[in-house]
Amino acid sequence: MPKQTRNLTEGQRAYEAKRAARAGMSLEKWLAQKDRQTAEAARAEAQARRAAEVKPAKPPGFFARWLEKAHKPL
């Protein structure tokens, strides 16, 4: 996976540096971890979206057809 370059302003860089220091990491390691987490979340969201797609209706089974015929008037 190619390394993404971030265009952070000085304020954003300082904020992320503070968060990295609190976590005991370097800024580069912290940003790499955030990139991995973002990519993982995007993959999970895409997988959930694929799973939620409407699947075509399954034709009725034996008992469903049988019950349907049984309920029809003679």
Q: What is the DSSP letter of 60?
A: P
Contact 26, 20 (CB under 8 A): yes
Q: What is the DSSP letter of 53?
A: S
Enter the pTM of the model: 0.59
Residue written as token pair 């089974």 = 61
d(CA 72, CA 49): 40
Alpha helices in the chain (DSSP H): 10-23, 27-52, 62-71
For 9-45, write each residue's pLDDT tens digit: 999 999 999 999 999 999 999 999 999 999 999 999 9
Residue written as token pair 């993959």 = 43
